[in-house]
Structure 1
Amino acid sequence: MKINLTSVMVDDQMKALKFYTEVLGFIKKTDVPLGKFHWLTVVSPELPEGVELVLEPMAFPPSQVYQKALFEAGIPAASFAVDDIQQDYKRMKALGVDFKSEPQSIGPVTIVVLNDTCGNLIQLAQKSEHF
């Protein structure tokens, strides 16, 4: 068994697609119009046949409550692995990304949390060489 899809709820799919591709660096995998919304996924350019991230519209009212509660509690909706967190932090900071702090070492990982502009906090994580 393996993970095929995972989702992050977004308040605007097209705004999310722009942020997740142009800022985070993912590539669009699937875009199927479904009336008002789309079946919209992105993937890592390093693993184009890997796990897809669904940019899920918040059409289901309980999802709006859940997303807001996570955001207000400071809990990331997702975590993405990076190879060089300092480099990614500097690059995205120059693009105007809202980070909640500077990268911090937490035992075997270094993490930083950012606002995806679509209602979510997203964590970036880099494992140490010894983990």
Structure 2
Amino acid sequence: MDQLDWNQLKAFLETAETGSLSAAARKLGLTQPTLSRQVAAIERSMGVTLFERVGKAMALTPTGLDLLEHARAMGTAAEALGLAATGRSQAVGGVVSVSATDAVAAHLLPPLLRRLREQEP
């Protein structure tokens, strides 16, 4: 196995979590045949069997169970990465309104607003 395909790993993880190819496909917004191909591809690339097909249900093999926690950790890390990236890419913007008494507006706010404008133009 040269490289792990994240889409295949998500297919494995969702199928393991839902116990069904069709439910996992719905959750990932894929068709069931596409998800089935992804699961088959990750099994092929790893050279292991991750699921036993039991009717329409998918039961994890002992190997699948062993790898599930690793896949969950990767999924959690991927979610954290996405959240960190989203948080960093959002710029602060908009209109700020401040109400204050005349004394505060005349004496305290000007240096504060000057510093705020320098930090967040």
TM-score by structure 1 length? 0.30
Greater per-residue helix proportion:
2
TM-score by structure 2 length? 0.31
Question: Which one has the largest radius of gyration?
Answer: 2
Q: Which has the higher contact order (CA 8 A, sep 6+)?
A: 1
